[in-house]
A = this chain, B = another copy of it.
């Protein structure tokens, strides 16, 4: 049954201060542009002020310093985006799945499925695999021998978990994700590649979300580790023996090469690349599209992106990159000629 709450009821559950009609009735969240008269929205970017003025929402969540930008009912709070997240969770609760195994699932006798868990059609669960309480294994998922899925975890359809991998509680894993495939462990020998058996596993903590078609390789010898609260977007690649520290978030298409050690509370932007065997301290932010080629020992934001330009300008300028060293030599030469000491001289 859909939820309906007044502003006052919302604030009594989640905090914040109501300005305007406390009895305004809310049934769902909405965007500034499209919210209807029984929906609550949020405002966090000043440049969307016009949208705030035009909104037809019943109420808005905003910060102290924005509270006078509108006269519609509102909840004033410190972190409007996080508050909005909690409000949306109120109106869109996740319910436990109907338990049971679909007759078109294939569950080995030696697998252990909790009584409250659900396994959908086409899923295959191998011997020794464990599925926790209220966990939901979607259609067509594969759980390899001896892997385990924690309580209240949800695997959307077509997730593959290789044998022996361990996933914590409350995981959300989206379709097409592959957990525990072999790492890229090959040794060069006389012009051919010899495969190094990948005998480590993958250990994933609680409250981890993994996006669609992301891949997390098993360790070569020891385990690949994602600590609690890690969030991965779609098409993220995690190499073997990587460790991702707690509460780090990695945006889409990023790649973390083998044995990289990422700290806690980091953010890695979309399509960023972290080379192998590097260490990133806690609270490092890597900008989208940046390749990290050395360890980063201090918190902060790091960037390395070629600024785009209209093609003709890019062509004219980029050619000089192949002559930068020479250009700087020429500047040094001029400085010497004039008896001047360059900053690097």
Within 8 A of B (CB), among A317-345: 317-331, 333-335, 337-338, 340, 342-344
Q: Is the CB of B142 within 8 A of A124?
A: no
For the complex formed, measure the closest distance between the CB of A52 and the CB atoms of chain B, giving whole angstroms: 15
CB-CB nearest in chain B for A138: B142
Specify which of B237, B249, B300, B319 is in contact with A253 (CB 8 Å cutoff). B237
Specify which of B156, B239, B265, B326 is in contact with A181 (CB 8 Å cutoff). B156
CB-CB nearest in chain B for A29: B221
**Residues of B contacting A178 in the complex (Cβ-Cβ under 8 angstroms):** 158, 174-176, 212-213, 234
Question: Quick one: which of A92, A124, A275 has the most chain B CB within 10 A?
Answer: A124
Specify which of B142, B234, B249, B333 is in contact with A175 (CB 8 Å cutoff). B142
Among the 9-residue stretches A5-13, A19-27, A63-71, A287-295, the one with 4 or more Cβ atoms under 8 Å from chain B is A287-295
Q: How far is the CA of A267 from the CA of B122 in the complex (A)?
A: 38
Binary contact readout A12-54 vs B (1 if CB under 8 angstroms, 0 otherwise): 0000000000000000111101100000000000000000000
**Residues of B contacting A186 in the complex (Cβ-Cβ under 8 angstroms):** 85, 209, 231, 249
Q: Is the CB of B222 within 8 A of A215?
A: no
Q: Is the CB of B255 within 8 A of A189?
A: no
Q: Can you list 21 A-B contacts (CB < 8 A)? A: A104-B106, A124-B157, A142-B175, A157-B160, A184-B231, A191-B247, A212-B217, A239-B252, A251-B257, A288-B291, A288-B293, A289-B291, A291-B308, A293-B307, A302-B308, A304-B308, A307-B319, A318-B321, A323-B344, A326-B344, A329-B343
